[in-house]
Amino acid sequence: MTSGIDIVTNDAGEFVRAAHARDSGEDVLVSLHRLAQMVRVHDSDNQAFVRQLEQTHKAVLFYCLHAGRDLVVLFADRVVLIGGQVLRGSRAAYEAANELGERLMWCGGAELTIQKDVSQKDLRAFAESLAVAMRSKRSEEFKSPTAKIRLRPVSENVRVRGLNVERLSYEQKLVRTYASAVVVMRRFFEAMRAGRFVLPRRLKRIAQNLVDLSSGRAASFLEIGRAHV
Protein backbone atom coordinates (compact mmCIF):
# COMPACT_ATOMS: atom_id res chain seq x y z
CA MET A 1 0.00 0.00 0.00
CA THR A 2 2.79 2.41 0.90
CA SER A 3 4.49 1.75 -2.42
CA GLY A 4 1.29 2.61 -4.26
CA ILE A 5 0.95 5.88 -2.37
CA ASP A 6 4.54 6.78 -3.18
CA ILE A 7 3.95 6.16 -6.89
CA VAL A 8 0.85 8.33 -6.91
CA THR A 9 2.63 11.06 -4.96
CA ASN A 10 5.58 11.02 -7.35
CA ASP A 11 3.27 11.19 -10.36
CA ALA A 12 1.38 14.09 -8.83
CA GLY A 13 4.64 15.85 -8.05
CA GLU A 14 5.81 15.46 -11.65
CA PHE A 15 2.50 16.84 -12.88
CA VAL A 16 2.78 19.89 -10.62
CA ARG A 17 6.39 20.50 -11.64
CA ALA A 18 5.46 20.22 -15.31
CA ALA A 19 2.65 22.74 -14.83
CA HIS A 20 4.95 25.19 -13.03
CA ALA A 21 7.59 24.77 -15.73
CA ARG A 22 5.06 25.42 -18.47
CA ASP A 23 3.76 28.53 -16.72
CA SER A 24 7.23 30.04 -16.14
CA GLY A 25 8.60 29.07 -19.57
CA GLU A 26 7.34 32.26 -21.22
CA ASP A 27 9.07 34.52 -18.68
CA VAL A 28 12.45 32.82 -18.90
CA LEU A 29 12.53 32.84 -22.71
CA VAL A 30 11.50 36.49 -22.92
CA SER A 31 14.20 37.34 -20.38
CA LEU A 32 16.86 35.43 -22.32
CA HIS A 33 15.80 37.19 -25.50
CA ARG A 34 16.17 40.59 -23.82
CA LEU A 35 19.62 39.65 -22.56
CA ALA A 36 20.69 38.66 -26.08
CA GLN A 37 19.35 41.96 -27.39
CA MET A 38 20.98 44.00 -24.63
CA VAL A 39 24.46 42.58 -25.12
CA ARG A 40 24.41 43.60 -28.78
CA VAL A 41 24.07 47.29 -27.95
CA HIS A 42 25.65 47.62 -24.49
CA ASP A 43 28.91 46.62 -22.88
CA SER A 44 28.58 43.96 -20.21
CA ASP A 45 29.39 46.50 -17.49
CA ASN A 46 26.58 48.84 -18.59
CA GLN A 47 23.93 49.28 -15.87
CA ALA A 48 21.07 48.38 -18.22
CA PHE A 49 22.81 45.14 -19.15
CA VAL A 50 23.64 44.37 -15.51
CA ARG A 51 19.99 44.80 -14.50
CA GLN A 52 18.84 42.53 -17.31
CA LEU A 53 21.51 39.98 -16.37
CA GLU A 54 20.18 39.90 -12.81
CA GLN A 55 16.59 39.52 -14.01
CA THR A 56 17.53 36.76 -16.44
CA HIS A 57 19.47 34.89 -13.77
CA LYS A 58 16.46 35.05 -11.42
CA ALA A 59 14.13 33.87 -14.18
CA VAL A 60 16.37 30.89 -15.00
CA LEU A 61 16.71 29.89 -11.34
CA PHE A 62 12.96 30.28 -10.81
CA TYR A 63 12.22 28.03 -13.77
CA CYS A 64 14.74 25.37 -12.73
CA LEU A 65 13.51 25.40 -9.13
CA HIS A 66 9.90 24.82 -10.09
CA ALA A 67 10.65 22.46 -12.97
CA GLY A 68 13.04 20.41 -10.83
CA ARG A 69 15.53 20.18 -13.70
CA ASP A 70 17.89 22.13 -15.92
CA LEU A 71 16.48 24.52 -18.50
CA VAL A 72 16.47 22.87 -21.93
CA VAL A 73 15.02 24.72 -24.92
CA LEU A 74 14.73 23.28 -28.42
CA PHE A 75 14.08 25.76 -31.22
CA ALA A 76 12.39 23.60 -33.83
CA ASP A 77 11.28 24.76 -37.25
CA ARG A 78 7.75 25.75 -36.31
CA VAL A 79 7.57 25.35 -32.57
CA VAL A 80 9.60 26.01 -29.43
CA LEU A 81 9.94 23.23 -26.87
CA ILE A 82 10.93 24.06 -23.30
CA GLY A 83 11.53 21.16 -20.96
CA GLY A 84 10.12 18.85 -23.63
CA GLN A 85 6.82 20.76 -23.73
CA VAL A 86 5.50 23.10 -26.37
CA LEU A 87 5.86 26.70 -25.25
CA ARG A 88 2.52 28.20 -24.32
CA GLY A 89 2.53 31.94 -24.19
CA SER A 90 1.46 35.18 -25.80
CA ARG A 91 2.16 36.15 -29.37
CA ALA A 92 4.86 38.52 -28.09
CA ALA A 93 6.51 35.65 -26.21
CA TYR A 94 6.53 33.50 -29.35
CA GLU A 95 8.05 36.33 -31.36
CA ALA A 96 10.76 36.77 -28.72
CA ALA A 97 11.43 33.02 -28.58
CA ASN A 98 11.60 32.72 -32.37
CA GLU A 99 13.97 35.68 -32.64
CA LEU A 100 16.19 34.21 -29.93
CA GLY A 101 16.16 30.90 -31.78
CA GLU A 102 17.18 32.62 -35.03
CA ARG A 103 20.16 34.22 -33.30
CA LEU A 104 21.25 30.99 -31.67
CA MET A 105 20.95 29.13 -34.97
CA TRP A 106 23.12 31.83 -36.57
CA CYS A 107 25.75 30.61 -34.12
CA GLY A 108 25.10 27.00 -35.11
CA GLY A 109 22.88 25.74 -32.29
CA ALA A 110 19.20 24.89 -31.94
CA GLU A 111 19.17 23.37 -28.45
CA LEU A 112 20.08 25.53 -25.45
CA THR A 113 20.78 23.93 -22.07
CA ILE A 114 21.34 25.96 -18.91
CA GLN A 115 22.12 24.07 -15.73
CA LYS A 116 20.10 24.86 -12.62
CA ASP A 117 23.20 25.96 -10.68
CA VAL A 118 24.26 28.49 -13.33
CA SER A 119 25.74 31.73 -11.99
CA GLN A 120 25.47 35.32 -13.20
CA LYS A 121 29.13 35.08 -14.18
CA ASP A 122 28.29 32.13 -16.44
CA LEU A 123 25.40 33.98 -18.06
CA ARG A 124 27.53 37.08 -18.60
CA ALA A 125 30.31 35.08 -20.26
CA PHE A 126 27.84 33.26 -22.49
CA ALA A 127 26.09 36.49 -23.51
CA GLU A 128 29.41 38.15 -24.36
CA SER A 129 30.49 35.18 -26.50
CA LEU A 130 27.10 35.14 -28.19
CA ALA A 131 27.40 38.83 -29.07
CA VAL A 132 30.80 38.23 -30.70
CA ALA A 133 29.42 35.27 -32.66
CA MET A 134 26.39 37.21 -33.89
CA ARG A 135 28.63 39.96 -35.24
CA SER A 136 30.60 37.39 -37.22
CA LYS A 137 29.70 35.23 -40.19
CA ARG A 138 27.18 32.45 -39.70
CA SER A 139 28.99 29.45 -38.28
CA GLU A 140 28.58 26.18 -36.42
CA GLU A 141 31.84 26.62 -34.54
CA PHE A 142 30.42 28.42 -31.49
CA LYS A 143 32.06 27.33 -28.24
CA SER A 144 30.35 28.11 -24.95
CA PRO A 145 32.77 29.67 -22.46
CA THR A 146 31.14 27.78 -19.58
CA ALA A 147 30.17 24.17 -19.01
CA LYS A 148 27.02 25.40 -17.26
CA ILE A 149 25.53 26.56 -20.57
CA ARG A 150 25.59 24.52 -23.76
CA LEU A 151 24.44 25.30 -27.26
CA ARG A 152 24.39 22.41 -29.65
CA PRO A 153 23.12 21.75 -33.17
CA VAL A 154 20.38 19.23 -33.86
CA SER A 155 19.60 17.37 -37.06
CA GLU A 156 17.37 19.04 -39.61
CA ASN A 157 14.89 16.17 -39.28
CA VAL A 158 14.41 16.95 -35.60
CA ARG A 159 13.89 20.64 -36.27
CA VAL A 160 11.41 20.39 -39.12
CA ARG A 161 9.07 17.96 -37.40
CA GLY A 162 8.35 20.49 -34.65
CA LEU A 163 4.66 20.95 -35.40
CA ASN A 164 4.10 17.19 -35.14
CA VAL A 165 5.34 17.09 -31.54
CA GLU A 166 1.93 18.21 -30.35
CA ARG A 167 -1.41 17.32 -31.90
CA LEU A 168 -2.92 20.65 -32.85
CA SER A 169 -6.24 21.58 -34.35
CA TYR A 170 -6.30 23.07 -37.83
CA GLU A 171 -6.90 26.55 -36.39
CA GLN A 172 -4.01 26.19 -33.90
CA LYS A 173 -1.67 25.19 -36.71
CA LEU A 174 -2.76 28.23 -38.69
CA VAL A 175 -2.17 30.62 -35.82
CA ARG A 176 1.22 29.16 -34.96
CA THR A 177 2.38 29.15 -38.57
CA TYR A 178 1.10 32.69 -39.08
CA ALA A 179 2.99 33.89 -35.97
CA SER A 180 6.18 32.28 -37.28
CA ALA A 181 5.62 33.92 -40.67
CA VAL A 182 5.35 37.37 -39.06
CA VAL A 183 8.68 36.90 -37.26
CA VAL A 184 10.45 35.52 -40.34
CA MET A 185 9.23 38.37 -42.54
CA ARG A 186 10.28 41.00 -40.01
CA ARG A 187 13.79 39.52 -39.86
CA PHE A 188 13.89 39.35 -43.66
CA PHE A 189 12.97 43.03 -44.08
CA GLU A 190 15.47 44.03 -41.39
CA ALA A 191 18.18 42.11 -43.24
CA MET A 192 17.25 43.83 -46.51
CA ARG A 193 17.44 47.26 -44.88
CA ALA A 194 20.89 46.30 -43.60
CA GLY A 195 21.97 45.42 -47.13
CA ARG A 196 21.81 41.61 -46.76
CA PHE A 197 19.88 40.24 -49.73
CA VAL A 198 20.05 36.50 -49.04
CA LEU A 199 16.71 34.68 -49.16
CA PRO A 200 16.46 32.59 -45.96
CA ARG A 201 15.41 28.96 -46.32
CA ARG A 202 12.81 29.43 -43.60
CA LEU A 203 10.97 31.93 -45.81
CA LYS A 204 10.34 29.28 -48.45
CA ARG A 205 9.25 26.72 -45.84
CA ILE A 206 6.86 29.16 -44.19
CA ALA A 207 5.35 30.07 -47.58
CA GLN A 208 4.79 26.39 -48.37
CA ASN A 209 3.27 25.77 -44.94
CA LEU A 210 0.83 28.64 -45.42
CA VAL A 211 -0.16 27.32 -48.82
CA ASP A 212 -0.69 23.80 -47.46
CA LEU A 213 -2.73 24.98 -44.50
CA SER A 214 -4.91 27.35 -46.52
CA SER A 215 -5.70 24.77 -49.18
CA GLY A 216 -9.46 24.30 -49.44
CA ARG A 217 -10.17 26.50 -46.41
CA ALA A 218 -8.88 29.89 -47.50
CA ALA A 219 -11.75 31.80 -45.89
CA SER A 220 -11.03 30.56 -42.37
CA PHE A 221 -7.31 31.02 -42.96
CA LEU A 222 -7.71 34.67 -43.90
CA GLU A 223 -10.09 35.29 -41.00
CA ILE A 224 -7.57 33.91 -38.48
CA GLY A 225 -4.79 35.91 -40.09
CA ARG A 226 -6.72 39.17 -39.71
CA ALA A 227 -7.52 38.34 -36.09
CA HIS A 228 -3.82 38.03 -35.20
CA VAL A 229 -2.40 41.03 -37.08
Residue 150 or residue 197, greater confidence: 150
Residue 38 has pLDDT above 80, yes or no: yes
Q: Which pLDDT value is given to residue 135?
A: 85
Specify the length of the chain in residues.
Answer: 229
pLDDT averaged over every residue in the chain: 77
Are 187 and 203 a contacting pair, CB within 8 Å?
no
Average pLDDT rounded to a whole number, residues 103-115:
91
Residues whose CB is less than 8 angstroms from the CB of residue 99 and which lie 6 or more positions away in sequence, other chains included: 33, 183, 187
Residue 200 or residue 25, greater confidence: 25
Residue 71 or residue 4, greater confidence: 71
Average pLDDT rounded to a whole number, residues 127-145:
88
Give the tens place of pLDDT for each residue, 48-68. 999 999 999 999 999 998 888
- How wide is the angle at C-alpha 165 spanned by C-alphas 68 and 157, nearest 5°? 110
User: Which burial class, exposed, middle or buried, applies to 1 when counting CB atoms under 10 A from its CB (0-12, 13-18, 19+)?
Assistant: exposed
Q: Which pLDDT value is given to residue 126?
A: 96
Give the tens place of pLDDT for each residue, 170-206. 666 666 677 777 777 887 888 788 887 766 666 777 7
**Partners of 16 in the β-ladder:** none
Residue 149 has pLDDT above 80, yes or no: yes
Query: Whole-prediction pTM value?
Result: 0.64
Are 163 and 144 a contacting pair, CB within 8 Å?
no
